[in-house]
Structure 1
Amino acid sequence: MNKSSTLQNSLMLTPLIGVTDSLVTALGLWLMFALVLSAYGVSMSVLRSRMIPATHLLACLLLTATLTSCAELATQAWSLQWHQHLGFYAGLIALQCVVLEHNGFFQSPRRDRLRLCGLFGALMVGLGLLREFIGNGTLASHLSWMAGATQPDWQGWTLIADGGLHLATLAPGGFILLGLLIAAHQAWTRRPAAPH
């Protein structure tokens, strides 16, 4: 693992733990990430050949900051509650795009880009579901925020009347759950050693 992939993965870890306290925020940030990443990839494919190398980083920064800001403004206009729960994590999308551009991600085959985006989305949504269920005892609470409803009538499914283990909705609980999921994946995929 080289330094650039370590930076790329650690930048993805921040929103993964920060916004996956519920399904709605995890799904919202992933949709915003996919939209900005797609728009950025298309825009830079047109601009990349017309730029001199000295202006590449500046153009990259301006484009990704503009696209991320537009996505944040659209989210804020659509549903203020949803935007408030995303917090500053949406702004990290711009930084992630710059790092991905620097690593040559946008020159890689489309299948690889879709795979990374899909894996990141699946991990975010899965972790959001688990943390909301374990932490609050609910599923899909505040889903009406994504529909832009100002007066929510439906608060999701309450599965545990007393709530859940609140630690799961906090950042340390997110790290613990992610560590347990990684350990379970490694145990599941480990092949037994061949007898000597």
Structure 2
Amino acid sequence: MNSVYFMAASLVPVLGATSTLREGVAIGLCAIVMNSLHQLLLTPLRQRLATWAYVMASLLLLAALASCLQLALRAWQLPLALALGPYPALLCLHCLATDHLLPREGRWRLLARYLCTLLVTCLLLGACRQWLADAAGLHLASLAPGALLLLGLLLALYNRLRPGPAHPRRQGKL
């Protein structure tokens, strides 16, 4: 599996759980907490375990973190936990993707930048989807296909505003 598959699989919780701004903030904060704890708790194990043992330890730790997150949401924020559904448990995909894709050196700085970007993406998607569903009357925006369309529009806007020409490989041919 390459990085494209990991990142595509890790978009599932972001797209599914950001139908309102409140849910976007919640799933973004849950992602930050899970990723940070996962990386922090695996730091002493990286050098000591073999590859297969490290993967098993990572999966067991993710299962424990996801269970604790679900229980904490149900204990303190039941309406929010019911609105988020199974998506906080799917944040394990984010943790696996970041653990696999982060380099060994400069790991924490890159992780902090990634988590800030993830939180901003969750906030933008949640705010835009809530505004489109409530103010503009587009019910499609509150559903998962609307999230995909909105994410495509945000990426197109980002590519349009980003300075510099496109890579020659990505330019169209006549």
The TM-score normalised by the length of structure 1 is 0.77
Stretches of structure 2 that go unaligned for 5 or more consecutive residues are: 167-174
Find the counterpart in structure 1 of residue 151 from structure 2. Answer: 178
CA distances 1:96-124 after superposition (whole Å, capped 9, x unpaired): 21232233457543211111110011011
Q: Percent identity?
A: 32
Change in Cα spacing, 1:91 to 1:106, as seen in structure 2 (3 Å) is farther
Change in Cα spacing, 1:68 to 1:192, as seen in structure 2 (3 Å) is closer
Find the counterpart in structure 2 of residue 101 from structure 1. Answer: 99
The 10-residue stretch of structure 1 (126-135 or 175-184) with the greater mean CA deviation from structure 2: 175-184
Find the counterpart in structure 2 of residue 91 from structure 1. Answer: 89
Q: Is the 8 A contact 1:4 1:103 kept in 2?
A: no
Kindly indicate whether residue 62 of structure 2 is the aligned counterpart of residue 64 of structure 1. yes
Distance in 2 of aligned mates of 1:85 and 1:106: 37
Stretches of structure 1 that go unaligned for 5 or more consecutive residues are: 138-162
Distance in 2 of aligned mates of 1:106 and 1:127: 31
CA distances 1:126-155 after superposition (whole Å, capped 9, x unpaired): 110010011023xxxxxxxxxxxxxxxxxx
CA distances 1:4-31 after superposition (whole Å, capped 9, x unpaired): 2202220232122111110111111111
CA distances 1:135-178 after superposition (whole Å, capped 9, x unpaired): 023xxxxxxxxxxxxxxxxxxxxxxxxx7211111112111111
Kindly indicate whether residue 125 of structure 2 is the aligned counterpart of residue 127 of structure 1. yes
Change in Cα spacing, 1:102 to 1:191, as seen in structure 2 (3 Å) is closer
Amino acid aligned to 1:74: A
1:48 pairs with one of 40, 46, 49: 46
Distance in 1 of aligned mates of 2:133 and 2:2: 34
Find the counterpart in structure 1 of residue 140 from structure 2. Answer: 167
Determine which structure has more spread, i.e. the larger CA radius of gyration: 1
Kindly indicate whether residue 46 of structure 2 is the aligned counterpart of residue 73 of structure 1. no
The 10-residue stretch of structure 1 (75-84 or 99-108) with the greater mean CA deviation from structure 2: 99-108
What SS does the aligned partner of 1:88 have? coil
Shift of 1:182: 1.4
Shift of 1:52: 3.0
Find the counterpart in structure 2 of residue 14 from structure 1. Answer: 12
Change in Cα spacing, 1:24 to 1:52, as seen in structure 2 (3 Å) is same
